[in-house]
Each structure stands twice: as C-alpha cells, then as structure tokens.
Structure 1
Amino acid sequence: MLKSSNTTNQAPTPPQDVIHKITGDCGKYQLLLCMLIFLSKIPIAHHQMAIIFLAPKVSYLCLDTNTYNTCPCSSPMYDDSVFTNTMIMEWDLICMRRWMASFSQTLFQLGVLIGSPLFGMAADRFGRKNPLLGAVVLQVSMGIVTAVVHEFWPFVFIRFLVGMSVGGTMVIGFVICMEFVATKHREMTAALYQLPFNLGHLTLPLFSYLFRDFRELQLAISVPTVVLLSYFIFIPDTPRWLLAVRRTDKAVKILTRVAQVNGRPTENIQSEVESYQAAIAKQTPIRKGNVLDLLRTPNLRKNLICMSFNWLTCSYCFYGVSQYVGQLDGNVFINVAASACVSFFGTLLSIPLLRVMGRRTIVIVFNFICAVCLLMLTVVPQGVWSIVCAIVGVVTSFIIFVVVYLYCSELFPTVVRNAALGTSSMMARVGSMIAPFIIDTEIEAGWLPPVLFATLPFIAGCITFWLPETKGCELMTTLEEGENFGKPISHDVNIKG
C-alpha cells in the first residue's frame, strides 16, 4: 500500500548505490563484461540485415518470351554477375512467388518479436544468465543449420528460430550492462552498446562481397558466433537481480569477485548487503514480477504504452527509411555500407546528447525532426535533397533507438525491467514488419510512403510529453517505486501480488 502524499518525486528508496559502493562505478570487471556483451551485437546486426544480400534484387531473362524481368515466367535465367546464388535464384522467388522473399524476413522479425518478451520474462523470473545462455545456444546452432537447409519453408522456419534468439540476446544483454554500471556511466554504456550493431551492419557488405552465394554468406556470419559460448564461463547473474529476489548469498559471492577484480575492499560486503536488504524489507516485500504487473496500475501502464509506441516508431522509421534509401541505383555493397555509416554517425552523436540533454527531451525533439524531414520528401524533388532528407530520417530514428534502450531500462523497476524491455522490443519488431508494406504503397501514390512514415514520429513526439524524465535517477527495484515514480500521489495505490 502506498501512502497518500503531496510530493511529486518517487517514493523513498533504499540505498541502491550499495552495489556500486562495493564494486566501484566502472572498474576493470565492468569494462570486460560490457565488452563481452557488446560482441553479441555484431552477429545480431548480421542476421537482422542479412536479407539484403540473401535475397537481393536480381535481373533475369525469361526464356519463354526472350524478355527481361517479365511475368509470368516459368523458365528464368538469372544474372549471376554480382551474386552467384541467392534465395531468389534458388527457389525462383519471382512473379507469383515474389512475396515469399519478403515473407521470410517478416517471419524472422516475428521471431524477434516473440523472442524479446519471452526471453525477457524468463530473465526476470529465472535470472539474467541462464536465459541469455539459452538464446546464445539457439543462435549459434540454428544460424549454422540455416546454411545447410535446402528446402524453402524449413529454411524460413529455422531463420524464425534465429530471430527468436536475436530478440532474447538483445534484451538480456542490454539489461546486464545497465545493472552492472553506475548511474553516471549509463548514458555512455547505452550508446556504446549500439556501436557493435553499426559495425556488424558495416561489415555485412564485406562478408557478402567475399561470399556471393547466400548459403556461404549465411555460414560465414554464423560460425563466428561460436565465440559467444564463452558466456557460459564469463557472464554471471547480476547482483541487482539476485538481491531483488533475495538470493543474498549468491549476490555476495558475485560482488566479492567483482570487488576483487576491481581492487576494491571485500571485508564488509556481507554486512553492507544485509543492511541493504534490511532497508528494502522495511519498505515492502519484494517479489518476482511479470508483464501483467506492468498493466495493473495506471502509471506503469501509461509508461509502458508510451514507451512501446516509441520503440515501434523508431524501428518502423529506421528499417523502413533505410530500405527506401537502399533502393537507390548504384553499387549495392556501397549503398549498404553508406547506410551503415550514417547509423554509426547517429550512435556517436547520441553520446554527447545523452550527457547534456534529458532522455525525454531527446526523444521528443528527434521524433519531430524525423517527422518534418520525412514529410519534406513529399515536396522535395527526387535528387540530392530528397536523399538528404531521407538520411536525416534514418539518423534521427536511430538516435531515438539508442536513447529509448536506456530510457526504458531506467523507467521500470528491476523486477519487471526485462519484461518492459522485452515488450517494448516486441513492438519495435511490429514496426519493422510493417515498414516494407509502407514502401509498397508508392504504387498507389508517390507521396503516400513519406506521409505514412512521418505520421508515427509526430504522434510519438506528442505522447512522450506524458513520460517522466529519468536522467540522473537511480534504478528502481520494486513495483511500488515504479508506480510512484514521476507522478503526484493523491490517493492510495494497492499493487497486489
């Protein structure tokens, strides 16, 4: 039960910096841990963007009519001057079967959509480590199996499983980093977490240039993920989660190891942790949470809806507008590399922005910038300036992507943090699944895709005014803290088990 109050701040909290008091703000252990987690983002980018080179646009000569790129065509002869074999060539995904290539990517994103909340809730219930290991094993094994499957629908289903593993790895890896680093380093960590994705996106054209057969490419991007199996040895559960569910002995053991690596004193760890637990016990019993807890009370529910819509919007714009830019004429390898460089720039720009601006302010401002630039595509003639407007849309949407990862992890308490991130990430997949269909509306009217792309960031910018600012706040632990955060409390709020 939360008491009535006239204050606008969050409820009194226990000394949550006790973990960083023991381990230090950002020592050798945190740096090594984050570097290991960051590695997982490179294959994530490879798998998510691979469809560009697994099923690229390819020309063909229809031997039935001796004409190029015409339908129907029962005897196509494909141009293999750039790619020796692709999904299109392997399974004749042209004419009436053309939709199957896009559908395979839709199912991959559906896998990410399902995997994000599934693994996220598992991590809130069973700890961060074991669900992460499950996602890694699934990604390594299914990624390699995909390369040797010869039938289309088994290929699509196994890529769906890879998508599930990608969703789980992204969500849990980010939460582990956030729960190990101190508040003052969260901005930098959140931004740096995205750089390996940009590097993966940037190196994918190199892989595809070297491996022109889609099976060889799939194998080339999957085999290096074997290194992630080192997580079995080097990645622990987070002390913050262990303390939240009162597994104190294991938390003390991990905190002691971290303190030793960082050269911190270890004599008083047990007593400090016990004091921390006692402070929590005086407030309210701590229990494990799930996604339903995010919907039971009005403030958490409102925060989840607003945050999820922002995730959907930035994914919708980033993947959709990136695909729009990728349809430009020219060298496909250079075009994709250029798009990746733009995203890399956006990530670097987000680092100083997170230092000097609030999370809410960044999300609002860049949503509106994104909306204006995309809307300008309806009046700017095709050419350099239309490309500039589209690229600004890509940059701003990716900056929002970087910020909402951090914003979401700060906005929800420990016991439901993974569930919130998983649900929000799930909505991002919905956005990425919708985006290709928006591009197809150009057949109806040339101005329609820019308008549809611009509408969502405008709405997202407006609803973000309802979210509280989290910059500089300690991570919350209990559902009561989460419900009470950033709002005036004028009546009793009962959060039931």
Structure 2
Amino acid sequence: MFPNKNSYISCNDGWVFDQGLLLSTIASKWNLVCKKSWMVRLTSTIYMFGRFFGAISCGVLSDKIGRKYTVIIYLFFKIGGGFLATYAPNYPLFCIGRYIIAIGTTGSNLAAYVYLSEITGKSYRAAIGVTWQMLFAFGYATLPGIAFFLRDHVRLQLVITAPAIILFGYFFFMDESPRWLISQGRFEEAKQIVEKIATINRKQLPEDLNFSHPASDDKEKVMETRKGTVKDILVYPNLRKKTLILCFIWFTCSLMYYGLSLNIGTIAGSIYLNTFLLGIVEVPALTLGIYLMGRVGRKPTVASACLFAGLSGFILIPLILTDAPSASRTAMSILGKASISMAFAAIYVYTVELMPTGVRNVGIGFTSMNARIAGMAAPYVGGQLSDIWKPFPTTIFGVFATGTGILTLLLPETLNKTLPETIEEGESFGKKVKKSQVEDITGKQAEANLKLEEKY
C-alpha cells in the first residue's frame, strides 16, 4: 500500500557541504551522509535513551539520598558528558558524551523540580511549576540565536555546558527538602531549614509547631511514607490506574513535542527562525497554562491542551495532502507545539501532586521515563515515516493527543488539594471509599483514609 521510498547510496567521490547555514556539524565532521545519514538521527535516539535511564535512576536515588545530593550528582554527569561530547575525536565517543549529558539533564531536572514543589505552598505550585517550564522555553528560543552567530557545533556545545558548571556551585547554598527530611524521620534538620525559610521570608512560625516529637500517628505515617517503592504505585489499584494514565500522557506529550522539535528541518523556511518560533510560542502557551491551572484546575488544562494538539494534527493532514502554502502548515505546526507544550508543563505539576511523598520522585521518574521512550521514537516518527506517507507523522500525533485528552478525564482534580503523604493517602485520593470497604482496612489508618476522602 505504501511503497518504501528509502534507499541509500555510497559516496565514493566524497561530499561537498554547504557552509552557508552552518560551518560545522556532526554530519560534516564525520561525513554522516548517504548510507551513514541514519547515524545523525541515531544521536537523538541515544540522547533520549540517556534521558530514559536518567528518569529511572533519579527517582530511586532521590528518594534514597535526598533531593539536594541527587541534583549535584546529576549536574556532575551533565558537565562531564558536555566536555566529552565537545572534544570527542570520533562519533562513538560523541554519542557516549551525549548519552551522559542526557542522564545528567534528566536527573538534575526531575530532582530539582520535585524539590521545588515540596518547598512551595499549594496555592503557588502551578505558577512555580509552569514558570520552571517557561525558563526552558526561553532557553529553547535563545538557542537558535546563539547557534546563528557561532555556526559551529563544538563551540555551541561548550556554551550549553557552561550553565551547568555555574549551577554546580549552588551546592554550597542549597538546603535539603524539609518534606523529604520529615519522611526520613530527620525532624530536627527539617525544623532548622523551615525556620531559616521563615526568617528569609520574614514570617513567624506557629509556636506549637514541633518537628522533634511527632504524635504516635504521625510516626506511623512517617514509617509508611518511608516504605514507598515503584511496586506500591503499581500494586494498589487506584494508584496503578492513575500511574498508567500518567504514563500515557507523558508518552504522548513527548512524542509530539520532540517529533516536531527534532524534525524542525522538515518545516519550510529558515531553520533558525522556525526553531525560535517553536520555542517562543511556548511562553504565551505556558502563561495561559498558569491561568487555566489556577482557575479551572489541572485536569481540564491537560485534557483541553491535548485535545487541541490532536485537532491541529488532524487539520494538518489535508494541508499536507493538498500541498497548501508553507506558511499555513508552519502556523498549524506551531499551534500544535504550543498546545502540547502547555500539556507537557502541566503534567509535571499534575504528576507531583498525585504521587505520595515517599514515592514522589520514584513516581515522576517512572511516569516520565515513558516520555523518554517516546523521545527515542520521535526522530523517526516525525521524520522517516513521512517517506512512507507524508501526513503519517501528523496523523499519529493527532490520534495519540486526542486519546490522551480523553483519558485525562479519568484522573482526579488536585487544585488546592493537600499533597498525599503516605501510600494509603495516595491510594484513597480521588477514590470513593464505601463504608463496607472501611472494615477491611485496619486501625486508625482506615479512619484517616475515610476522613481524607470525605474532605475532598
């Protein structure tokens, strides 16, 4: 039905590269053309595989040794990988460097994001979380300008690595997450940090606030929080349902986001201008996301953003088939990118709020690793599948985004809700507890779960 149009030939007479746009790329440095052209996309896949490993390892490490040390460890990976990729004498070492960069980038970002959410009040979580993503958008939009003036991938890699070196020095000023310390029973350390925060903010702590001698019920709560593992978010039925839906949302957001971003060269027009537009369009999208998340909630924001992204994908199909003007196709691609960017930013906040403290980093690591799986496929879905049928990639984007928008409606709302602490609270959150079920849960924990559900 769809003939295979892919074929590769040898370049026996060499290759002359057009240096009008870029003076040096990995393709020109190692002659990755003709039968080696697939190796260019392979670097993106390897990078995403590194992000996949970073997401898995970060969750376990962060919940074990804390948010602070996890951020620093992964920043070290990012810096080391950056220098290796910059000065790599051959293609394999360059790929290894990119793989290490990806591990460090994902690990430090996820741990820092969880840290930020745990020291932020519930009324500010959405704004802080999406503002975090907005900084990414500004970096995205700035990058093509830097690349335009440098026009060399070696110097560009050095510029990208520099911020990680600066952030590495933040270790000496960064405190551990008080919420994580409490989950580990380290109450005195948590109290000192909270007092420090209150002093900086010129606030007075309640006189009856006591971290050192929690009530017996709170001690049990701490012990339950410390027992959380990946197994817990998959064994308990309600947590499992929420986790699997979140996994699919992460997968779809990443597939469409990176499918458009990594294949920007296939969009008509200047690669520098198009990259800038795909980056800067996220700023108004994320600004709207902050407003919607605070006004209508997390669930409607994610669902509507995904549905709108899916709609843009379907609209692109006839535009591609009829060879519509490039401006209309570019505009619709940018619109789809803006929508999926809003969903991508919101799902960070949503995932953190749905996961209990003891498995929060594990949970966001486990769900976000699906984004890395999608990221590995994105260069091929957004690129080579168009050789089979031109609208194939955008059709896939439309189907996945629409399905994700519908699935999101099955999740509970978290707007202005207190973050669940224990596995039990996470399991009962968003689930109607019947009186007949209460008898199956022992002791005071059953009563606590019922009260929690009645409250929400």
Answer whether TM exceeds 0.5 for this pair.
yes
Matched, 1:445 2:404: no
How much does 1:188 deviate? 0.7
Q: 1:473 aligns with which of 400, 410, 417?
A: 417
1:114-134 deviations in Å (ceiling 9; x for gaps): 101211211111111111110
Judge conservation of contact 1:374–1:453 (CA < 8 Å) in 2: yes
Q: 1:285 aligns with which of 220, 223, 242?
A: 223
Residue matched to 1:104: 43
SS at match of 1:303: helix
Higher relative contact order (CA 8 A, sep 6+): 1
Matched, 1:170 2:113: no
Residue matched to 1:301: 240
Whole-angstrom distance in 1 between the partners of 2:315 and 2:205:
59
Whole-angstrom distance in 1 between the partners of 2:42 and 2:186:
44
How much does 1:193 deviate? 0.6
Of residues 158-167 and 460-469 in structure 1, the stretch that sits farther from structure 2 once superposed is 460-469
Distance 1:266 1:391, change over 3 A: closer
Whole-angstrom distance in 2 between the partners of 1:483 and 1:364:
22
Matched, 1:462 2:400: no
Judge conservation of contact 2:59–2:361 (CA < 8 Å) in 1: yes
Residue matched to 2:429: 485
Give the counterpart letter for 1:414 in structure 2. T
Count of equivalent residues: 426
Q: 1:73 aligns with which of 1, 7, 11?
A: 11
Of residues 338-347 and 280-289 in structure 1, the stretch that sits farther from structure 2 once superposed is 280-289
Residue matched to 1:419: 362
Distance 1:222 1:274, change over 3 A: same
Whole-angstrom distance in 2 between the partners of 1:365 and 1:336:
25
Give the counterpart letter for 1:415 in structure 2. G
Matches within 5 A, 1:83-94: 83-94=22-33
Distance 1:284 1:76, change over 3 A: closer
1:125-166 deviations in Å (ceiling 9; x for gaps): 111111111011111222123211111101101110110001
Judge conservation of contact 1:71–1:95 (CA < 8 Å) in 2: yes
Distance 1:278 1:230, change over 3 A: farther
Matches within 5 A, 1:237-316: 237-265=176-204, 268=207, 271-274=209-212, 278-281=216-219, 285-286=223-224, 287-316=226-255
1:64-102 deviations in Å (ceiling 9; x for gaps): xxxxxx942131121222222110011110111111111
Matched, 1:148 2:87: yes
Whole-angstrom distance in 2 between the partners of 1:102 and 1:214:
16
How much does 1:344 deviate? 2.0
How much does 1:325 deviate? 5.0
Report sequence identity in percent: 28
SS at match of 1:378: helix
1:49-71 deviations in Å (ceiling 9; x for gaps): xxxxxxxxxxxxxxxxxxxxx94
Give the counterpart letter for 1:444 in structure 2. I
Whole-angstrom distance in 2 between the partners of 1:292 and 1:192:
32
> Which TM-score applies when normalising by structure 2?
0.89
Give the counterpart letter for 1:426 in structure 2. M
Judge conservation of contact 1:325–1:390 (CA < 8 Å) in 2: no
Runs (5+) with no aligned partner, structure 1: 1-69
Judge conservation of contact 1:171–1:425 (CA < 8 Å) in 2: no
Distance 1:98 1:343, change over 3 A: same
How much does 1:259 deviate? 1.8
Judge conservation of contact 1:242–1:251 (CA < 8 Å) in 2: yes
How much does 1:430 deviate? 1.3
SS at match of 1:475: coil
Matched, 1:431 2:339: no
Give the counterpart letter for 2:403 in structure 1. I
Distance 1:282 1:293, change over 3 A: closer
Matched, 1:228 2:171: no
Judge conservation of contact 2:140–2:276 (CA < 8 Å) in 1: yes
Whole-angstrom distance in 2 between the partners of 1:219 and 1:196:
20
How much does 1:258 deviate? 1.5
Distance 1:306 1:242, change over 3 A: same
Q: C-alpha root-mean-square deviation of aligned residues, in Å?
A: 2.1
Judge conservation of contact 1:410–1:475 (CA < 8 Å) in 2: yes
Distance 1:493 1:308, change over 3 A: farther
Whole-angstrom distance in 2 between the partners of 1:277 and 1:91:
65
Residue matched to 1:113: 52
Judge conservation of contact 1:124–1:290 (CA < 8 Å) in 2: no
Matched, 1:321 2:257: no
Residue matched to 1:40: none
How much does 1:278 deviate? 4.4
Runs (5+) with no aligned partner, structure 2: 1-7, 446-456
Distance 1:386 1:424, change over 3 A: same
Matched, 1:406 2:330: no
Judge conservation of contact 2:44–2:379 (CA < 8 Å) in 1: no
Judge conservation of contact 1:112–1:167 (CA < 8 Å) in 2: yes
